[in-house]
Amino acid sequence: QVSLVQSGGEVKKPGASVKVSCKASGYTFTTYGISWVRQAPGQGLEWMGWINPHNGNTKYAQNFQGRVTLTTDTSTSTAYMELMSLRSDDTAVYYCVKETYGKFDYWGQGTLVIVSS
């Protein structure tokens, strides 16, 4: 069965960076894209970016251009999301999501990132 298991919660200071991991299992990792979606407390879902694990091609949402980097390690079927220059409004739950032909069919459990001085 498909599973996406994310790394644990983080507390960071403003200006720092955070790197969240997402280990996939139960399917061929290089066949489907991985997107990252975040949700600030009490707010809606926001798409951040997408990566093709097969060739490393990426696409980032305009709001995150230059501040987020998506990578994958195909040897361990793990995807990574690094967000830099953190601000307090980056406090959110970050989800990795398996993308299949435009739909998000499997979600990780979420990783809470708190940005606070």
Partner 1 sequence: QSALTQPAFVSGSPGQSITIPCTGTSNDIGAYNSVSWYQQHPGKAPKLIIHNVNNRPSGVSNRFSGSKSGNTASLTISGLQAEDEADYYCTSYIGSSISWLFGGGTKLAVL
- Shortest distance in whole angstroms from residue 107 CB to partner 1: 4
* Parallel, antiparallel or unpaired: strands 45-51 and 58-60: antiparallel
Contact 68/86 with Cβ under 8 angstroms?
Answer: no
State how far Cα 87 lies from the chain centre. Answer: 17
46 binds partner 1 (CB under 8 A): yes
Question: Cα separation of 109 and 15, whole Å?
Answer: 26
Contact pick of 1, 44, 65, 89 for partner 1 (by CB under 8 A): 44
Nearer to partner 1, 58 or 84 (CB): 58
Per the listing, tokens 């069965």 go with 1
95 binds partner 1 (CB under 8 A): yes
Binding site for partner 1 (CB under 8 A): 35, 37, 44-47, 50, 59, 61, 95, 102-105, 107-110
